[in-house]
Amino acid sequence: MNKDDFDYAIENTSVIVAPERQIATFGSTSFNFYLISELMDRVDQVRIRNGKIHAERPQILTPEHYRRLLLEGFGDKAQRYVDQLREHLRNIAVLRYGFQFRKTDVTEETIRDSIDAVIGRTKRRVESANEPLSAVIQGVDDAWEVCLLKFTIDLIERSSGGNLVDFRKRGLL
């Protein structure tokens, strides 16, 4: 895959139905996905991939954590520099999200129909089944994993604000 293929996949990823809930702050969360894509070499052939993405509990990475990571194998001068960094950055914390994507959870089905019809049926099925942790995504067939990764990054961005609020409420930040 070249850069143009990658950019094309990112630009042509569209979330039709987003999960109603965000990534849980104090536990793991599993999201179902239905990734729908047109087969490029066949007319009116659409592939639906269904699977799960497992989001681990977000972790707080503080300057102290970075200090421990940075100093492994370094001497006293490095220690002083990192101490200065820690003093200036003491109020900074970063959330780390971990995802596991298991291809064994993915099923594929190819349907002979228009992509709009398949998207409509899948959307109605998810909405009528009341699946609050499900997403319907339209993407590119050859680069479907890139499309799924973009969805995952967007989900992290959507969840991070609420996760930070939850950590602050518990006095963890």
**Pair (72, 138) in one structural domain:** no
The pLDDT tens digits for 120-139 are 999 999 999 888 889 999 99
Is 172 contained in some domain? no
**Pair (88, 126) in one structural domain:** no
Tell me the C-alpha distance between 172 and 162, whole Å. Answer: 14
Which residue ranges of the chain lie beneath pLDDT 50?
101, 103
Domain boundary among 71, 96, 121: 96
**Pair (11, 53) in one structural domain:** yes
**Pair (23, 36) in one structural domain:** yes
Verdict on whether the full-model pTM lies above 0.85: no
**Pair (32, 83) in one structural domain:** no
Residue 131's pLDDT is: 80
Is 120 contained in some domain? yes
Residue labelled with tokens 């047109």: 38
Find the domain containing 148 and state its range: 3-58+97-166
Tell me the C-alpha distance between 78 and 173, whole Å. Answer: 26
